[in-house]
């Protein structure tokens, strides 16, 4: 799993060993001038990994995306979808096997979809992710002699996720927790997930057992009946304390007192139990109403020297161990001396701004989500950061207003969603011309596209630092230093 919600596709067709599951191809139909047909069997040499972890090769001048195939493999695949410039295909057989191919460690790897690269040795994953970053910049930013530093990986690429958001279901007389298979309503039980912190797995298993014993109605997504729909568990790595949130489709939580007492008895490290109501038919995990059932209102956590206080819905990085090198790279890029004004756009709950605050004159964070701004202000108070102020609003609107008022930031930090920065924000940054722009990204493609806009606006890229935040998945994060020409 990756991020706070699943972003990658399911791994249908992922090979185990030298062969893969073979699906039934749709009836063949002519579609292009090259006469490539759905159902056609093709032989492809895989060149690289795509952004979603699929193997990418070429056939009749078209890119071919093959889930489960690895770089340097020669594979036989069946075409499943045809577009003018690319094809999708299902892996059938591996003719030449990658030395990095391995047996996935998770028994439900192919069905779950939360990970995309468990069939690849970790050293190979790091090589492929570094290549993915380089490919994105070659394609979208078109920069010669770009400095891409070696990717920062993990010594132990398992058990790193500090938070789980798992749907609840009922299967063969037992309560299960897991993720829905991509494109379906089938819930996959991921008990014992290898990328989750072991304490989270144990806690969720105990909650499921208590729910079954107390016969609390489990929500049925198809029928829209029942009550309990999601269990969210988060661990504070600094203390080992757990925060549990039970999300229901109804306003009431049946047998609330007995449920809380049983969880406290069976999960002794639990520090807080909350109840959130999400009655809508929505892909969003949380609803608007959260109330504390027992324990602390917030979970205390640390990130380096930054102290954080996390409410049940507060965002926090899912891999704190790798967040530290990511933020250290941002700190290096900012090169603060104590005299700078730093603007942290898309500041979320304030972690990057608070990380930089001890080295800056002033930090201003901007965030559009009101709850995140409230969390950021609490975190600033918790960390004793008196030189940090957080503003609610859109960065693409506030930053131009500040510039017109004569405010000129020395350093701008952006950490946008996967879709990248709003073009209006990029234009505002170009107008402000900060001496340094620190771009933290979770999507190499949108990062490179945004960098192209900034290059055209008079910036230059100094270096790119990839960080593997989510081992076993296709995702890679980067910190990039850009400088405004003429402000060195």
Going along the chain from its start, the domains and CATH numbers come out as 1-108 (2.40.50.140), 127-154+318-484 (3.40.50.150), 163-303 (2.40.50.1070)
Q: What is the pLDDT of residue 487?
A: 64
pLDDT of residue 488: 61
Residues of the chain above pLDDT 70, percent? 93
CB 136 within 8 A of CB 480: no
The confidence score (pLDDT) of residue 221 equals 82
Amino acid 19: pLDDT: 35
Per-residue confidence (pLDDT) for residue 17, from 0 to 100:
35
pLDDT score at 293: 98
User: Cβ(109)–Cβ(118) under 8 Å?
Assistant: yes
Rg (CA), the chain: 24
* 96 and 73 Cβ atoms separated by less than 8 Å: yes
Say if residues 216 and 169 touch (Cβ distance below 8 Å): no
Predicted TM-score (pTM) above 0.75: yes
Reading the block at residue 150, the tokens are 């070696």
pLDDT under 50: residue ranges of the chain:
1-33
Cβ 393 vs Cβ 373: under 8 Å: no
**Which position among 227, 347, 442, 478 bears the catalytic label?**
442
What pLDDT is attached to residue 157?
97
- What pLDDT sits at residue 414? 97
442 is catalytic: yes
């Amino acid at each position: 799993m990756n991020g706070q919600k699943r972003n990658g596709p399911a791994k249908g067709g992922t090979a185990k060993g030298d062969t893969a599951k073979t699906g039934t191809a749709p009836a063949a139909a002519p579609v292009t001038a090259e006469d490539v047909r759905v159902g056609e069997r093709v032989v492809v040499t895989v060149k690289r990994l795509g952004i979603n972890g699929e193997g990418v090769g070429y056939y009749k001048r078209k890119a071919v995306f093959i889930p489960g195939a690895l770089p340097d493999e020669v594979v036989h695949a069946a075409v499943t979808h045809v577009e003018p410039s690319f094809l999708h295909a299902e892996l059938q057989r591996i003719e030449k096997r990658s030395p990095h191919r391995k047996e996935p460690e998770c028994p439900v790897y192919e069905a779950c979809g939360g990970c995309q690269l468990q069939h690849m040795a970790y050293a190979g994953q790091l090589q492929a992710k570094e290549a993915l970053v380089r490919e994105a910049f070659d394609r979208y930013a078109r920069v010669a002699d770009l400095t891409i530093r070696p990717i920062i990986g993990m010594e132990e690429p398992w058990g790193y996720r500090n938070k789980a958001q798992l749907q609840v279901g009922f299967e063969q007389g037992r309560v299960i927790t897991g993720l829905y298979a991509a494109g379906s309503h089938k819930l996959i039980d991921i008990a014992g997930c290898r990328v989750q912190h072991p304490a989270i797995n144990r806690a969720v298993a105990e909650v499921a057992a208590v729910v079954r014993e107390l016969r609390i109605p489990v929500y049925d997504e198809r029928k829209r009946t029942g009550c309990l729909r999601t269990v969210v568990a988060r661990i504070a790595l600094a203390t080992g304390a757990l925060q549990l949130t039970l999300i229901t489709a109804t306003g009431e939580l049946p047998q609330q007192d007995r449920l809380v007492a049983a969880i406290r008895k069976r999960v002794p490290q639990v520090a807080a139990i909350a109840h959130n109501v999400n009655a809508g038919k929505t892909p969003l995990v949380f609803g608007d109403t959260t109330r504390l059932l027992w324990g602390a209102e917030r979970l205390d956590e640390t990130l380096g020297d930054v102290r954080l206080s996390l409410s049940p819905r507060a965002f926090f990085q899912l891999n704190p161990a790798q967040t530290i090198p990511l933020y250290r790279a941002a700190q290096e890029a900012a090169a603060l001396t104590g005299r700078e004004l730093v603007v942290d756009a898309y500041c979320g709950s304030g972690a990057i701004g608070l990380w930089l605050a001890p080295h800056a004159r002033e930090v201003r964070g901007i965030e559009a989500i009101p709850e995140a701004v409230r969390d950021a202000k609490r975190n600033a108070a918790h960390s004793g950061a008196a030189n940090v102020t957080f503003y609610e609003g859109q960065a693409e609107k506030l930053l131009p207003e500040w510039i017109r008022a004569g405010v000129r930031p020395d350093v701008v930090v952006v950490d946008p969603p996967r879709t990248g920065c709003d073009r209006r924000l990029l234009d505002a940054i170009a107008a402000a011309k900060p001496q340094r722009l620190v771009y933290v990204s979770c999507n190499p493609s949108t990062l490179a596209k945004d960098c192209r806009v900034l290059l055209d606006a008079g910036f230059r890229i100094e270096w790119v630092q990839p960080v593997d935040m989510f081992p076993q998945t296709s995702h890679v994060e980067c910190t990039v230093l850009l400088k405004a020409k003429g402000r060195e």
